[in-house]
Every structure is written in C-alpha cells, then in structure tokens.
Amino acid sequence: MAVNDSLAALSDSAFTASIVTYSVGVVGFAGEYAFGRRGRVARTSSEQTTVVDGGSNRTDTATVTTSGPGQRLGVVGLACTVLGAGLQIVSLVLRGVATDRVPWGNMFEFASGVVLVTVLSFLWLVWQAPRLRHVGVFVLIPGVFVLVYAGLKLYADAAPLVAALRSYWLVIHVAAAIIATGVFMLSFVVTVLYLVRQRYERGVIEAGSMPRPVAALGPRLPAAAVLDRLSYRTVAFAFPIWTFAVIAGAIWAESAWGRFWGWDPKETWALIAWLVYAGYLHARATAGWKGVKAARINLLGFFAMTFNFLIVNMVVSGLHSYSGLT
Amino acid sequence: MTDTVARLSTAPDPVEPLRRSAGPIVVVRRWWRLLTSMRTALVLLFLLAVAAVPGSLLPQRSLNQSRVSAYYAEHPDLAPILDRLSMFDVFSSPWFAAIYLLLFVSLIGCVVPRTRMHFRAVRQPPPPVPSRLERLPQSATFERDLSPAAVADAATAALRRGRWRVVRRRVGTGGTRVDDDGTVELSAEKGYLREVGNLAFHGALVALLAGLAVGKLNGYEGSILVEEGSGFCNSFQQYDTYRNGPFAGAGDLTPLCADLDRFSTEYEDNLIPARFLAELTYTREIGGPASTYPLEVNSPLRTDGVRLYLTGHGYSPRFTITYPDGSELTDISAPFLPEEQTTLASTGALKLPDRPGAGAEDPQLAIEGFFVPTAANLGDNRLVSVDPRPLNPAVAIVVYQGSIGLDSGAPQNVFRLDQRQIDRGVLERVAAGNLLAGQSLELPDGTEIRFEGYKQWAALQLSHDPGQLTVLIASVVMLLGLLCSLVVRRRRLWLRCRPADPAAGGAATSRTVVNVGGLSRADSGSFDAEFAALVKKLVADSSGRN
Ligand code: HEM
C-alpha cells in the first residue's frame, strides 16, 4: 500500500509545532516558577507538609488564591501543554492514517508516544492536584529534549512495517511499552525533584550549607513526602503495565521467533528494568531502604529503560528489527 | 499502638544481626530467615539484574556462535578469560543458575509462611480497638443523640454495606477494659485481597521459574533449511542444528514430517517484505493422512505439542551437468545464504555427487557461487543484485575439479568448499563465468554446466517446550495478583461509642461520644479522603435514625 505523502508531511509539521508549543510552555512555567509570588508556592509546600505529616489534623488548609504575573504565566504554560499534547496526537494520528497502520512502528514514533504519555499523565496529575502545576517546567523540559532528539536522530520516514512486525501483538505490546515508559519517565522526573527537595529539607533542618541548585529550586518544590508518594504511585501504576508489556512481548516472540524467551538483548534489558522496579517496590517496604535509597533505585530503573531504548536498539544487535533506522 | 494493630501485611520481620554464641539450630534458623527476608529478596533481585547485563552486552553462544568467534579473533587475550567465567553462556552458567536457585528457594521460603500467616489473619477477627484512637494516623470524634448500642448498630450496618468486615465488642464482656459503662467498640477491616494478590504474585513467580526449568530440561529445538519440493522429519539426525534439554532424548520426539511445496514472498513498492508464505504438507505419523498449512512469520504450525516456525528464506540456484559421455545430473541445487538482506545476493557451494557410473579415480566436481535474484548489467564483468525478487536470476560460479574431501571424515561447512583441499592442490580451479538462466559454461574436459534457474528454500524451526503453558498461566496469575496487590489497600477502622454521661449507665444514655480511628499503609494513596468520607457517612447514618 502506498504511503500518503501529503498527510505524512502534515504529520511532521504538527510534530514540529508541538515542540514549539511545548517550548513556549516551558517559558510560561519557568516564569511562574521564577516570578510566582514566593509566598504562594512556599505556603503551598508547607501546607502539604502538614497534610502529610499531620494526617487529619490539618491546620493550614486555606487555599491561597493569587493572581499576578506568575499565575498568568502558569496558566499560559498549562495551556501550551494541553495544546502541545493535542498537536502530538494530531501528528501521530496523521502518521497512522498516512501509513495505514498504528503509529508506533519505529523509534521515532515510540519516543513521541512516550513524551505524549508523560505529558498526559502530568496533566492528569494537575487535574487531581492543581497545586502541582508549577512543576510542569520540569516535565516539559525533558519532554522537549526527547522530542528534539527524536526529530533529529531517530526520525524515520512514514513507511509501512516489515512483515515481521505485522501482528496485532505489535499494537498491544508496543502500546503497553509506550504507556509504561511514559509514566516511568514522569516518575523519574518526580523522583529527581524528590531528591532535590529532600536535600533542601534536610539542609533547612540542619541549617547546613546547600548546593546552589538545591537552594534555588528547593523552596518552591512540593514537600518531599508528597513527591516521594507521587513517585511511588506512578511506579505502582506503570509497573503492572510494564509487566503486561513484557508478557505480551513474550507471547509475540513465541509466535514469531519460536520461543517465548531467548535472552535477546532487548528482552534481557526489559527484564533488568522490570527487576529494578520490582526492587524499588520492595525497597519501599523494607526497613532501612525507604526514602533516598529507594529513590535512587527508581532512577536506576529509568536508566535501564533508557539504555534499552537507545543503546540496545542502536548499538547492540539482536532480533528486534524495530528502530526504523538504517 | 500495638504491633498486631499496625500489622497490615505479612511481610517478614527484619532480621537482627547474628549473635556470636548462638547454637547450631539457632544459626540455621537465622540463616533461613535471612535468606527469606525482604532485604535478601532485594539483593537477589539486583543480583539477577546485574548478572543479566554481561549476557546482553557480550556475544552469546546460544544466540550467535559466529559473533563469539569474531570476539575471540578480536580479543585473543581477554576472550579465554571471559569464557572461563562463562561470559559467553551467561544464561546457562553455574553462577546464573545459582542466583536463580537462591531466588527460587527464597521465594518459596517467603511465600509459604506468609500464606499461612495470611490464612490465619483472614480467619481471625480484626484486632481490638487500641486504647488511644487519637494517636492513629487518622482519627475523628463526633457526638450523637443515640445510645452507644444504637450508634454501633447503625455504623455496623453502614460498614457492612461498604463490604467491611466488622466485629463488635462490648466493653466489659471480654473487651479491652473491665468497667462496664455501656461502651461499645467496633473493629473493622477491609482489603484482604491485597495480601492475597501479593501472595498469588509471588507464588506464581515460583511456578513461572519452575515452568522455565521444566521447559529447559525437557524441551528441544531443531532447525533445518528445506528447499521447495523437499521435506524433513522430526529427528535429530536430520536437523542442521539442534539443541535438546538433558531429559529430552531422541526417542521422545513427536513424529512429524513436513514438505515444502512452494515458497513465495510479497514486497511493498519500496521492496520491504510484506509477506512470506511457506506452503507445507505435513503428516503426523509416517504414512498417515497429509494436511496442508500456510506457514507464515507470526503464525506457526502448532500440532501435538510441537510448533513449526518459518525463520528465514533464500534461494538455491539449480544446475544440470552434462558429462562428455552424455550422462547427466539433473536438478542439482544447494541453498545459498543471503549476504545482504535487502537484495538477497547470496553465496554458497555445490559439492556434486559422483558422475553416474564413475570409477573411484574419476575427479569430483564442486562449484562455488554467488547468486543474485535480479542481476543488473553494469557493463563490466561484475554481478550486482538490485532487487530481492527473482526477476532476472544470475550466478557467478567458479568450478573446481579434484577431491572435495567429503570422505576424510572431518565435518565440512555445506556453504563453502574446504579451503584446505584447494590449498593442497587436490581441488583445482578449472573454469569460471557469469550465467543467466538457461546459459551454460563448458569445462576444459567438455563437461557442460547449465544454470537452470532457482528454487526457494525456507529455514524452518521445530520447537517443543513442555513448560510453556505453565509459564503462560503463571504470568497471567502474576499480573492479576500484582494488580490486586497494587490497587487494593488493606485498612482498618475502629469505633469506640462511649456514653456521654457514663454515670447514667449503658442502655439509658441517649447521647454518645464516638471516637473513630483509621489505619492504612501510608504508601497506598488517599486513605485520608476515604476516612473523611467514611466519618461523614457514619455521622449521617446515625443521625438519620433520630
Ligand atoms: C525472595 C523473597 C521475597 C520476599 C520475602 C518478598 C516479600 C514481599 C513483600 C512482603 C511484599 C509486600 C510489600 C508491601 O507490603 O508493599 C512484596 C512485594 C512485591 N514483591 Fe516481593 N518478595 C520476594 C521476592 C520477590 C521477587 C523475586 C520479586 C520479583 C521479581 C518480587 C516482586 C515484588 C513486587 C513487584 C512487589 C510489589 C507489590 C506491592 O508493592 O505490594 N518479590 N514482596
């Protein structure tokens, strides 16, 4: 079947537009972060601290409504995030229509899908807890980075799939992998913020010195306990999906390659990441491993995911003929 | 807060460090507890992850023997050392097996006692109300114009409707305190499925590991290249390569024979392959009824516990040899291996059988060749392939005469001539040329080699893995267990309904002070919200009767 070139070109334009829109969003969020009334964000943080630590005996739950340049910039950031996500959806849908297949058939499309999932799950979080909005800057920056990298280094022309990939398991297995990876990426961001905030809170309590970035970012981040719990809940959400993705991959491998598990490098790294995240969930329930140590395991898990996506696809050779790169 | 109150999971307790003077039984028990502890589980998970890393970065024999040889050639000093550490067979190495076994034992050692513990916990009523409810992470107090018993009745009904398990204790009749002032206490608990899910997950993991082992020990796998018009039967002698578990003997092979009738490919406009189709005829016993199957990538033939896969394809050039005496060898072909996947330019060798009626002294013929499915005419004498489809097949061949060396007993590569025979001068190059289909090459002795065209071949793989179904079921149970364990929250709720005026005596009071306390694992999301909603509901329910 022929590829519809004009739709494919339109898809590429929407992709570029989404990067531009997200970048404007970064500026908006960064503005909110920098110019937002210090009082508001700081109060939000302390408020959340009491909610978490004090349980039901909240003392300071009055919502502070402010308007001002910071607030307005934040709204701009949020609007750009929504618009950027919409453009990404348009871009992926057009690619799917142009090639008459699901738009997750190569690394470029995979990376775009992952960022979309990260952004959408962040938007869902903000929907649940609007106070988290200003954290958007830390979600969009890596998102834009990944998209630019994908556009420059991973770009593959809209094309049909090779025979080996024509299976409905591609639809299921890769979709699950994209969703899990996207949410793990959000978890990664939250965990980094947790580590920064944790340093800050400890620094404040011990009144010791703090590295510059920690001192600058720390005061406006949500409380460490909030971030810690958020990073757990994102992993708790993504982990079963990742488990499912690995199982679906094994079922597909059984019908495509003659065995459900063959220690192909891609399979092996999927398992490594799975084990590391299982380790993270355990660490959270193991005395002496909660907090910072567990958070580091979370970072390690995302490192394994990234390694599997970039290095294993492009450097280590295996059976997975997925990259779409030549 | 007592331990029984706070205990919401069957997680093993942290193990204290070993004391010096402990007796042997104590030591064994300590080691056992250490092996089955959470911390060890954590360590084993990491160990397994780390152990898998070299297996993914270094070439592995089980995946690609030739890469291992290439690695040997590139790193002649390092490779033998790595090999001694099983670095090229990581996943079948003793140390990998050791981690795997430790994990297996540790999992069993943790699942069995935890299951017993949870079974007991399910049958036991929720623990009694702690004395200081306001110390719990969640707590609230409200008052109602009802007797304690009536408030407790309403609360019990409301909680049961919310599928809480509720136990009622009247203080003074086996409750926590002896002075009977009419106080009624409720203990409620919900979310037992979390622990069930967690145990199902870990238990299924044990089953999965066992299924993997059973499959490895009893399974086998063989691969073979089959040309159009020929076939094979399931036996180790016939396979080009095979691998069998220690318990899978030659006698255990499922009888199955298959012939490749026709092989075809379809391509997209840009020449990426769209479809491979191997049309098979197979029988499940010798002389039994034959069935056909369209074998494709992603759709194996499954029968009698074995699976037959299409794993590759290529071309076999076909020749007719006419000897000077007029005798002929017809339909001579051999599979050539693709060098380039995009154009299927392939190389290979033909080691011809002896001429009909030849004596022992007669020289043998061998051909080395390069096959292209679609030849491009570049003007010079080189053959270049431009298309994977057989639009204009051509071969470049070099013909040798002499002794091929097949009877020397040493194993030979079927895709290449034995270079040692050539170097020794017993196999001599006699002619070379490029041929299109229908053209022929004449040797100095008058023998004519005619290029007739091609056949296609398919690489087939037959696999048998008796552990596969166990592994599939176990992984589905794991997933379901995991979902329960991550979605369901185990939580407890306690109510103490105390007469506002204790002096009036239990039944007579019409005003009750209610203390509520709640406990859930801090990790598991928004118990605050649920607790607040529950309290609101309890207030509403007990006032609704008024
Ligand atoms: C070897 C001994 C093991 C022990 C003693 C053990 C114990 C536990 C316990 C007590 C929990 C519940 C923690 C909680 O309440 O949150 C848990 C959770 C979990 N375990 Fe294990 N485990 C073991 C091995 C494993 C292995 C080998 C894996 C996977 C490869 C694994 C994967 C998980 C996962 C994913 C959870 C998360 C479920 C949750 O958070 O509730 N465990 N484990």
**Beta carbon of A272 within 6 Å of any ligand 1 atom:** no
Q: Let me know whether B35 and B80 are in one domain.
A: yes
Backbone angles phi, psi at A210, to 5 degrees: -130, 145
Closest CA to B86 of B98, B102, B74: B98
Chain mean pLDDT for chain B = 85
pLDDT over 90 (residue B407): no
Q: Give whichever of A216-220, B261-265, B378-382, B540-544 has the largest mean pLDDT.
A: B261-265
Does residue B283 lie in a domain region?
yes
Does residue B266 lie in a domain region?
yes
Residue B457's pLDDT is 94
Percent of chain A with pLDDT over 90: 48
Report the gap between the CA of A290 and the closest CA in chain B (Å). Answer: 11
Provide the residue type at B300 as one letter: P
CATH number of domain containing B517: 3.30.310
Q: Let me know whether B436 and B519 are in one domain.
A: no
Q: Let me know whether B304 and B229 are in one domain.
A: yes
Chains A–B, number of C-beta pairs less than 8 Å apart: 140
Whether the Cβ atoms of residue B477 and residue B469 lie closer than 8 Å to each other: no
Could B49 and A159 be called an inter-chain contact, meaning their C-beta atoms sit closer than 8 Å?
no
Provide the residue type at B180 as one letter: D
Distance B22 CA to ligand 1 centre (A): 30
Q: Which of A59-63, A207-211, B124-128, B182-186 has the lowest mean pLDDT?
A: A59-63
Residue B545's pLDDT is 47
pLDDT over 60 (residue B399): yes
B193-223 residue pLDDT tens:
999 999 999 999 999 999 999 998 999 999 9
CB proximity A239 to B under 8 Å: yes
Q: Let me know whether B434 and B357 are in one domain.
A: yes
Q: Give whichever of B28-32, B377-381, B405-409 has the largest mean pLDDT.
A: B28-32
Does residue B178 lie in a domain region?
yes
DSSP 8-state code for residue B443: -
The rounded distance, in Å, linking the Cα atoms of B22 and B20 is 6
Q: Let me know whether B215 and B293 are in one domain.
A: yes
Residue B286's pLDDT is 75
In the block, tokens 């290979």 appear at B348
Q: Let me know whether B145 and B242 are in one domain.
A: no
Sort out which chain B residues have CB atoms less than 8 A from A55's CB and list them: 137-139, 528
Does residue B485 lie in a domain region?
no
Q: Which of A59-63, A154-158, A271-275 has the lowest mean pLDDT?
A: A59-63
Evaluate if pTM is beyond 0.80: yes
CA B102, B106, B112: angle at the middle one, nearest 5?
A: 150
Report the gap between the CA of B40 and the closest CA in chain A (Å). Answer: 10
pLDDT over 50 (residue B371): yes
Which residue range forms the structural domain that includes residue B57?
24-122
Does residue B10 lie in a domain region?
no
Residue A81's pLDDT is 94
Average the pLDDT over A178-194 and give the result: 96
Q: Let me know whether B111 and B150 are in one domain.
A: no
Whether the Cβ atoms of residue B232 and residue B207 lie closer than 8 Å to each other: no
Secondary structure E strands in B111-219: 138-144, 165-170, 184-190
Q: Let me know whether B408 and B320 are in one domain.
A: yes
Handedness of CA B51, B57, B63, B65 (dihedral sign): negative
Residue A38's pLDDT is 47
The rounded distance, in Å, linking the Cα atoms of B112 and B79 is 43
Backbone angles phi, psi at A228, to 5 degrees: -60, -45
Q: Let me know whether B117 and B66 are in one domain.
A: yes
Q: Let me know whether B339 and B379 are in one domain.
A: yes
Cβ neighbours, 10 Å, residue B492:
25
From B196, B483, B485, B523, give the residue whose CB has the most ligand 1 atoms within 8 Å, as the site to mutate.
B485
Backbone angles phi, psi at B297, to 5 degrees: -60, 140
Average the pLDDT over B149-159 and give the result: 87
Average the pLDDT over B442-457 and give the result: 92
Distance B40 CA to ligand 1 centre (A): 11
Average the pLDDT over A82-99 and give the result: 94
- Per domain, the residue ranges of chain A are 5-314
CA B76, B82, B83: angle at the middle one, nearest 5?
A: 90
Q: Let me know whether B415 and B520 are in one domain.
A: no
B29-45 residue pLDDT tens:
877 877 777 888 899 99
Q: Let me know whether B339 and B355 are in one domain.
A: yes
Percent of chain B with pLDDT over 90: 33
> What count of Cα atoms within 13 Å lies in the side-chain half-sphere of residue B312?
17
In sequence order, what are the residues at sequence separation of 6 or more whose Cβ sits closer than 8 angstroms to the Cβ of residue A262? A253, A319, B62, B63
Residue A115's pLDDT is 96
**Beta carbon of B202 within 6 Å of any ligand 1 atom:** yes
In sequence order, what are the residues at sequence separation of 6 or more whose Cβ sits closer than 8 angstroms to the Cβ of residue B502? B181, B182, B509
Backbone angles phi, psi at B243, to 5 degrees: -140, 130
Residue B378's pLDDT is 65
Domain count, chain B: 4
Higher pLDDT, A273 or B17: A273
Q: Give whichever of A119-133, A181-195, B381-395 has the largest mean pLDDT.
A: A181-195
Assign B450 to helix, strand or coil: strand
